[in-house]
Amino acid sequence: LGSLGIIMAGWSSNNKYALLGAFRTVAMVLSYEVPMVIALLVPVILTRSMGFGAIAEAQSVWYIVMAPLAALIFLVTSIAELGRAPFDLTEAESEIVAGFHIEYTGMKFGLFYAGELLHALTVSALFATLFLGGWRGPFVDQVPILGPVYLLVKAFLIYFVIMWVRYSYPRLRIDQIMDFCWKFLTPLGLVLLITTAILDKAIAGTTPAARVVIHLGANLLIAWGTVQVLR
């Protein structure tokens, strides 16, 4: 829905820079949804459920420990989905004069900006639920009100990381961004997904501690192999 709003805003502006920003949205945002969905399948496989509640309940050990590569892929693709730097090609001020919202001022521009900030907080809450145990934490069974507090704290921590990345890295070119998606993140995500699925089936019935160690070892091995291939 966010992508559709940007496309409609750029297309209806009758401005070539706004239209170029919308085209970049089609190219980048929709492309990065592929490795994002692949990364999302990893916690689904580990939990054997697509329910957020079940995924949070199953994390006696956070999935960011068991599947750090999936968490990293999801975080990077989420930043791209948000259109935040270094993936802010939809509103590249130095190239396309603010992009898709160049023709919008006042409250209309304010709604675009508020939507982007709210989208970032939503993605942070999703990451906290999928990889950081969601509402789970110390004494949450005795004091249930701590559940929402834990979720908000984790979400704002991820939000801080997103802002940190935004102010630390320069904008990338469109060809670099597309190569990064299709030639790196997507193959890496597929290898991780297949490995996780096979491993989780093979080690069914083992102790939780052994399961964590084996999945973490597989992730580290894939990361090491990726570095060697890149070198």
d(CA 171, CA 94): 10
Instruction: Encode pLDDT of 178-216 as tens digits.
Output: 999 999 999 999 999 999 999 999 998 889 999 999 999
Report the pLDDT value the prediction gives residue 215, as an integer from 0 to 100.
95
d(CA 80, CA 119): 12
Residue 195, SS3?
A: helix
Average pLDDT, the chain: 89
Report the pLDDT value the prediction gives residue 174, as an integer from 0 to 100.
82
Better-predicted residue by pLDDT, 126 or 88: 126
d(CA 31, CA 21): 15
Q: Which amino acid is at 155?
A: A
Instruction: Encode pLDDT of 26-77 as tens digits.
Output: 788 889 999 999 999 999 999 999 999 999 999 999 999 999 999 999 999 9
Query: In Å, what is the CA distance from 187 to each residue of 71, 193, 218?
Result: 15, 10, 16
Instruction: Give the angle 14-17-21 at the CA atoms, nearest 5°.
Output: 105
Report the pLDDT value the prediction gives residue 82, as an integer from 0 to 100.
83
Report the pLDDT value the prediction gives residue 92, as an integer from 0 to 100.
66
d(CA 73, CA 131): 12
Selection from 212, 217, 189 nearest residue 38 by Cα: 189
d(CA 39, CA 127): 11
**In the block, residue with structure tokens 């130095």:** 94
Report the pLDDT value the prediction gives residue 22, as an integer from 0 to 100.
80
Contacts of 42 (CB under 8 A, 6+ apart): 63, 67, 70, 192, 193, 196
